[in-house]
Amino acid sequence: GLPPLEAMTAGCPAIVAPHGALPEICAEAALYRAGDDAEAWAAAVVRLREDGAWREQLRAAALAQSARFTWKRAASRLVDELVAL
């Protein structure tokens, strides 16, 4: 999930396939398209390019979602889990 998260942190709307950790990482802040549907991915890219209001809405959602993931928080959670052992 790091590449989409990095894009979202930079304010770039992410288009991802709904597999693995991506739905958990991206939540409602990304566009989901089937991994094998090239036409749907292309249409999403075109819409992002042409629809500035929608792009800005997704950009804001991406920034908010990505702010939930920090290295400090990840390290803290890891330490908590290790201490709990």
What does the pLDDT average to over 71-82? 92
Q: Are 21 and 3 in contact (CB under 8 A)?
A: no
Residue 57 tokens, joined: 């809405």
Question: What pLDDT, on the 0 to 100 scale, is given for residue 85?
Answer: 87
Residue 51 tokens, joined: 């629809």
Is the pLDDT confidence value at 20 over 90?
yes
Confidence of residue 74 (pLDDT cuts 50, 70, 90): confident
Question: What pLDDT, on the 0 to 100 scale, is given for residue 30?
Answer: 95
Q: What are phi and psi of 56, to 5 degrees?
A: -65, -35
Q: What is the residue type of 63?
A: L
CA-nearest of 37, 33, 27 to 58 is 27
pTM across the whole model: 0.81
Q: How many CB atoms lie within 10 A of CB 35?
A: 12
pLDDT tens readout for residues 37-52 = 999 999 999 999 999 9
